[in-house]
Amino acid sequence: MHHMPTQSDEMRQTKIYEQVVERIRDLIDSGQIRPGDRLPSERNLAEIFKVSRSSLREAIRALQESGVLESRRGDGTYVSLPPGSDLLAPFAEVMTQQRIRLWQLFQFRQAIEPQIARLAAAERTEGHLEALRHMLDLQEKEINGGEKTGFADLHFHQLIAMATGNPLFVDVVTRAESKLAETRNEPLQTEERQITSLQSHKTIIECIERRDPDAAEEAMRAHLQIVSDIIFSEGK
């Protein structure tokens, strides 16, 4: 079982964002962006720094709060510190906090979803199975079409919760899964990882189909472990 992110985890995280901050600093120090100039769009920055737009948006917000950047309503984000200022500290701090929040949410998911899969194997109907198979087909089409929305993955887990027959599980999974969108869109962005996710979903369905609660619980736990390894073994 994974532990809370360690200092070495946070150091890997910091190194990645040091590179991002250095890029910002280079733009400022080279004169490409001067104090008072507007930053490129969030979309462009996210592509340049290879981070999600939600992560970038939160980092920019922290930098605004610390006075590194200034947001002008309807007019974009501007550099408000001179060249050579320490941009790294507030940037790294917010990313560390974001990583911890992600771990807390994922820890919750690991605690509850294997048990939900167990109950689904015992309580599912043919209608639930049909819906799960349909969502599996949709996930496969997303992969073949090069889509990375995570739509099918989200609804797959909601359908398993529905198969328990307990609407409270559906509410809990929906809330948790929506907050954990980053665990899909970022870590599962490569086709290889999407295929791995699809294969483990197939295993879960097979266990639910044959009404094997023990196997379904273990299959869900193994699936979440794979996702956890992807998220927390990389500095993303």
Q: Please state the domain count of the chain.
A: 2
Both 24 and 118 in a single domain?
A: no
CA dihedral 196, 202, 203, 206 (to 10 degrees): 180
Token pair belonging to 214: 């023990």
At 84 the pLDDT is 60
Q: Report which of residues 104 and 214 the model is more confident about.
A: 214
Contact (CB, 8 A) for 186 and 230: no
Both 152 and 227 in a single domain?
A: yes
Contact (CB, 8 A) for 128 and 120: yes
Both 87 and 109 in a single domain?
A: no
At 187 the pLDDT is 47
The HSE-up count of residue 130 (CA atoms within 13 Å, CB side) is 3
pTM of the entire predicted model: 0.62
Domain boundary among 61, 92, 123: 92
* CATH code for the domain of 157: 1.20.120.530
Supply the range of the domain harboring residue 20.
Answer: 7-92
* Residue range 91-107, pLDDT digits in tens: 666 667 777 877 888 88
* Residue range 42-73, pLDDT digits in tens: 888 888 877 777 777 777 776 777 677 788 87
* CATH code for the domain of 50: 1.10.10.10
Both 121 and 224 in a single domain?
A: yes
At 121 the pLDDT is 97
% of the chain with per-residue pLDDT over 70:
73
Both 122 and 18 in a single domain?
A: no
* Residue range 109-136, pLDDT digits in tens: 899 999 999 999 999 999 999 999 999 9
In three state form, how does the secondary structure of the chain look?
A: CCCCCCHHHHHHHHHHHHHHHHHHHHHHHCCCCCCCCECCCHHHHHHHHCCCHHHHHHHHHHHHHCCCEEEECCCEEEECCCCCCCCHHHHHHHHHHHHHHHHHHHHHHHHHHHHHHHHHHHHCCHHHHHHHHHHHHHHHHHHHCCCCCCHHHHHHHHHHHHHCCCHHHHHHHHHHHHHCCHHHHCCCCCHHHHHHHHHHHHHHHHHHHCCCHHHHHHHHHHHHHHHHHHHHCCCC
Q: Which residue from 60, 50, 52 is spatially nearest to 184, judged by alpha carbons?
A: 52
Q: Report which of residues 10 and 131 the model is more confident about.
A: 131
- Mean pLDDT, to the nearest integer, of 138-159? 81
Domain boundary among 51, 71, 92: 92
Residue 214 included in any domain: yes
